[in-house]
Amino acid sequence: MHDMARFYWWWWVNRFYMRLFFRLEISGEEWIPSSGSAILVSNHISYLDANIISAASPRKVSFMIAREWYEARLINWMCRFLGCIPVNRSGQDLGAVKSALKGLSQGFLLGCFPEGGISVDGNLQEGKQGVALIALRSGCPMIPVHLSGHCFQSLPATFFLPKKIHIRIGKPILLDGEDPKDRESLARVTRRITDAIQSLADQVEPH
């Protein structure tokens, strides 16, 4: 179990530096509950999306991230301190699902990227069903998030080309009447997640 003092310390360090390097324009913060568990579901367009969402959130967020990144020597220590949950993207990872459910049962705010990877063109991709499974099994509301203003495949480019980043947070997605054991339910919930994020994307004003 990660050290909570280090968790909080690194969360505040990240919040400070993200707000220092980037101009964050945030709307909809009021939809994030001040206490209790919930799942933030966001589009994925850069390597720093988790850091950006953490900086925008009034509460600490534990993110599910690709195992290869979690185990990377340069950032593994930070991932552990921040309470990240490693996910094996090559197949269904029941261990990651169990870890996510455990965190939610303790009142955590969980961060997920339903696309399962960074979008190659910045457009929202088809979602994976793992997030829907976690939401249905936990009974927690999902809060859609849409990021825009940055879309870099290169990590150095993300740092050296800072710009204004828009973070739009939407009203919770409630899941009454759906069954985590039913494939059609999982498919419906996955579509609802994608639709909710896309709805926020459609609110982005053209520049």
Residues ≥6 apart with Cβ < 8 Å to 206: none
Supply the pLDDT for residue 161.
Answer: 57
Supply the pLDDT for residue 154.
Answer: 56
DSSP state string for 68-113: HHHT-TTTHHHHHHTT-EEE-TTS--HHHHHHHHHHHHTTPEEEE-
pLDDT at 159 over 70: no
pTM of the model: 0.87
Mean pLDDT of 120-136: 91
Q: Which one is the CATH code of 4-201: 3.30.300.30, 1.10.540.10, 1.10.10.10, 3.40.1130.10?
A: 3.40.1130.10
Render pLDDT for 79-114 as a digit per residue (tens, 0 to 9): 777 778 889 877 677 889 999 999 999 999 999 999
Confidence of residue 156 (pLDDT cuts 50, 70, 90): low
Q: Where are the domains of the chain?
A: 4-201
pLDDT at 127 over 80: yes
Supply the pLDDT for residue 1.
Answer: 42
Render pLDDT for 32-84 as a digit per residue (tens, 0 to 9): 999 999 999 999 998 889 889 999 998 889 999 888 878 887 777 777 777 78
- Tell me the HSE value of 107 on the side-chain side, using a 13 A CA sphere: 5
CA distances (Å), 139 to each of 16, 81, 205, in order?
A: 32, 27, 34
Parallel, antiparallel or unpaired: strands 164-169 and 142-148: antiparallel
Report the C-alpha gap between 87 and 78 in whole angstroms: 16
Report the C-alpha gap between 51 and 82 in whole angstroms: 10
